[in-house]
Structure 1
C-alpha cells in the first residue's frame, strides 16, 4: 500500500470566490492516498456547499466542519486529522504552482532525512495574477541546516512566519507538541519552532506559493491597538523560544540578533503603513533588547540607538510610497 506522503491543511472561512482556484491548483498535483483536508471554520456564505459539491466525492479530499475559532484552531484540527508524513498549510485564497508535490516526492526519496521542505513565494493583487512581486526569497538551494535557512531569510528581510512558508514532517510537530492555538498572530511561535527543531532542510529553487493580496482580508485591513499589542506579545514569546532552544547551535547569537532586527523593523512598518504611531513599548524594547548587540552598519546603529530618528526617516519613506500608490 502506498504511503501518504503529504497532507495539505486548508483553513477555510467565507472564501467561496477563491477556494476552487486554490484547491484545483493542488488537485492537479495530488492524488490519493495523499490528502487535501479542508477545514471549514463554520463559514456563513456558500463555501461549505461549494466544496462539498466540487470535491466531496474525491478520495483525496476530506472536508471537516468546526465551530468558528479562527485559522489557528482550524489548522490544529487539520493536524489532528492528518495522515501524511509531511504537512503543508495552505491558505484558501492562494495558489500552489505545479511541481510542488513532484519535487517534494523526489527530494524525500533521495534524502529521507529531510524534515523541512522550503521554497520561495510571490504575491499578486486579486484580479491581477500576472502582476507579481517577490515575498519569500531563498538565495541558496539544496540541503542546508534549517537554522542557516532561517538566518538567511531574516538577514535578507524576506522571512515570514506564515504557515504556508514550508512543508514539515508531522513527526516534528508531534514530538515538540506544536500547535497554533491563538486566533491572531498564531503562526509566529509555530513557524519559528519548526525552524528551530527541524534537523535537515531542502531549499527548492522554485516558487511554489502565490499569495493573493485582497482588500478586506486580515492581512490587508486597518489594525487597532489590540492587534499591535498581540503582535508584540507574539514577538516576545517567539523570541523566548529562540533564546531557550538553540544552546547547541553555533548560530544562536547571530539568529537572536537577526530575529530582533527583523522584528523591530516589521513592527515599525506595521504601524507606519497603518497610519498610527509606533507604540512606546516597541521603542523601549528596541532600546533595551537591541542594545545588547553590536550593530553591523549605520542603519542598525540608528535603529538601536536612535529609534525615534529611525522611525521618522522610515515614516518619510512610507509616506512617499503611499502617495505614489494612491
Structure 2
C-alpha cells in the first residue's frame, strides 16, 4: 500500500488562461506526499512557462512535457508516473472545490476496500461562475456497489464518460490495463470499465467538481459529420467492453439495456442540438441493438420500434428549448 493517497493528473494543452486557477484550487487541499502531475501536451502558448514559474519548486507538483498527442495520451503518461492509491483526472480549465481530498481520505481510512470515489458536479459558463447548472447528480450516497451506481446514473440521465467524474483506485487501473489511448472520445471505455470492473464505490453527497463551459470549445461549437462517426465508434467499443466485462453478472442484461437507452438518447440529442440529422447508422443501431431488449414504457417502445417518430418528437422539444434560451 502506497503512503500517497492521491495522484491528480492534469493533461494541459494551450490553457494559459485557466491553468493557474485550476492548480491553485487543488493546492488548497493537496500537499506532499500527495501529488499533482501536470502533463504538458506540447503546448505552444505560455502554459508550460506559467506552470514552471508557479509550481516548479513545489514538492507535490510533477511537471512532464510530451509531444502533442491529445488528452488521452497525456493522461496515460500521467498514469505511468503516478504513485498514489487513487488517480483523479482533472481537466485544466475546471475547478475542484475544498473537501474533496479530505473526504476521500476519511472514506479510505474507514473503507479501504473502496475502489471508486464518486461525487456530484456542476457546470458554469465561462465568465459567469455564479450561474451554475447540474451535471452529474447521484441519487444514492455512501457505500454502494459500483454497478448499481452506474445503473443509477444511466437511469437518471446524468451519466457522463468524463474521466473527472470520479477518483479510481490505481490498482484497479493496472489490474485491468485501463488506458485512454485514443485521441478523441478517449474516456468512454475507461470510465465504463471503472464502473463495471470495480465492486466497491463510495458516493459523496457533495458537489466537488465545477466544469467550465468555454466559449468556442468542442462542447459549444458546431460538430462535423466526422465527430458524430467517431462518437458512434467510441460508443460501440464501449458497449463491447461492457458486454465482455459483465460476463455472467446477473445485472448484465439490465445494464446493457440501460447503457443502450442512455447512449441512443444522447446521440440523438447531440445531433438535434447541433441542427443536423441523426445519422442513419445510429438509427440502424437503435433498431438492431435496441430491438434485442423489451421496452419498459411507451417512450422506449417508440425509441426502439419507431426511431424516426421518436426523433421528430424530440426535435420539437429541442427547438422549444433553443427558442427559450435565445
TM-score between the two structures when normalised by the length of structure 1: 0.98
| Cα gap change, 1:4 to 1:21, in 2 (>3 Å) | same
Does structure 2 conserve the Cα–Cα contact (< 8 Å) formed by 1:86 and 1:168? Answer: yes
Give the Å deviation of 1:219: 2.1
1:97-116 aligned within 5 A: 97-116=97-116
Change (3 A) 1:240 1:16: same
User: d(CA) in 1 for partners of 2:60 and 2:218?
Assistant: 30
1:199 maps to 199
Deviation at 1:249, TM superposition (A): 2.1
Unaligned runs of 5+ in 1: none
Q: Report the Cα offset of residue 297 of structure 1.
A: 1.1
- Name 1:129's counterpart in structure 2: 129
1:309: which partner in 2? 309
Cα distance in 1, alignment partners of residues 253 and 213 from structure 2: 35
Secondary structure at the residue paired with 1:218? coil
Q: Partner of 2:174 in structure 1?
A: 174
1:276-295 mapped onto 2 (5 Å cutoff) = 276-295=276-295
Q: Is the 8 A contact 2:122 2:133 kept in 1?
A: yes
Q: Cα deviations across residues 262-313 of structure 1 (Å, max 9, x unaligned)?
A: 0000000111111111000000000111011111111111111110011111
RMSD: 1.1
Q: How does 1:172-321 map to 2 (within 5 A)?
A: 172-321=172-321
Which residue does the alignment assign to 1:87?
Answer: 87
- Tell me if 1:24 matches 2:24: yes
SS of the residue corresponding to residue 73 of structure 2 reads: helix
CA distance in 1, matches of 2:323, 2:148: 38
Cα shift at 1:2: 8.1
Q: How many Å apart are 1:196 and its aligned residue?
A: 1.1
> What is the deviation of 1:245?
1.5
Identify which range, 292-301 or 28-37, moves more after superposition. 292-301
Kindly state the Cα deviation for residue 223 of structure 1 after the two structures are TM-superposed. 1.0
Task: Please say if residues 4 and 83 of structure 2, whose CA atoms lie closer than 8 Å, have aligned partners that are also in contact.
Answer: yes
- Which residues of 2 match residues 36-55 of structure 1 at below 5 A? 36-55=36-55
**What is the Cα deviation at residue 208 of structure 1?**
0.8
How many angstroms apart in 2 are the aligned matches of 1:247 and 1:14?
Answer: 42
SS of equivalent residue, structure 2 residue 95? coil
Number of aligned residues? 326
Residues 60-84 of structure 1: CA deviation (Å, up to 9, x unaligned) = 0111110001100000000001011
Matches within 5 A, 1:6-25: 6-25=6-25
1:220, 1:93 → 2: CA distance? 15
| Structure 1 segments (4+ residues) deviating >2 Å | none
CA gap of 1:245–1:2, structure 2 versus 1, over 3 A, is closer
